[in-house]
Amino acid sequence: MPPFIYINGYPGVGKLTVAKELSKLLPKAKVINNHLLIDPVAAVFDRTAEEYQPLRQVLRREVLTSLATSTSTRDVTWIFMDQQSSSNLGSSSTRDYQNAAAVRGSPFISIILHCELDENLKRATGEDRGKDANTKLTDLGILRSIREREDIFHFKDEYELELDITRLSPSEAAAKIHDHISKTLR
């Protein structure tokens, strides 16, 4: 069964760009941008509203259940990206992806992308940022705050890869992830 690949990292690190490059290296791979699950909820509720997170959870779980149980996409490698911390909320959210992989009977491979702060700030304000979604974080003050107070969630299992992409092109990062996936699935 093709894997579920979960790419986690701070906003603006390059998750979507790397995921798109990775999808070119994997047969029948599809990228699910986390903003497909964020933007519909953000259109209804402000992120600070008490209804925001519960609706995100319901939408995320419904989409993941559909992907996990679909017969028409059983041969698809799903690539997800997200920014989840090690908080209770972040942990619960990341486990939804892992649980969906288990329902499908797919290997679950976690990828943690990070880069140096200066590079992250540069990427977060790049001209391509925000073309694919209208709620992408571009406020450097908020990004600095997130990096100072939140740790990215780690599964800490043998399938997880942590990769510093500060000095890697998206295609180089994708190649390293592809190598990891290949070794993991042997």
CATH number at residue 128: 3.40.50.300
pLDDT confidence band for 135 (50 / 70 / 90): low
Q: Give residue 100's identity as a one-letter amino acid code.
A: A
Q: Are 144 and 12 in contact (CB under 8 A)?
A: no
Domain count, the chain: 1
pLDDT confidence band for 16 (50 / 70 / 90): very high
Q: What is the pTM of this model?
A: 0.92
Q: Give residue 138's identity as a one-letter amino acid code.
A: T
Q: What is the separation of C-alpha 135 from the centre of its chain, rounded to a whole number of angstroms?
A: 15
Q: What is the pLDDT of residue 136?
A: 76
Average pLDDT, the chain: 92
Residues spanned by the domain of 95 = 4-184
Q: Are 102 and 155 in contact (CB under 8 A)?
A: no
77: left (phi over 0), alpha (psi -120 to 50) or beta: beta
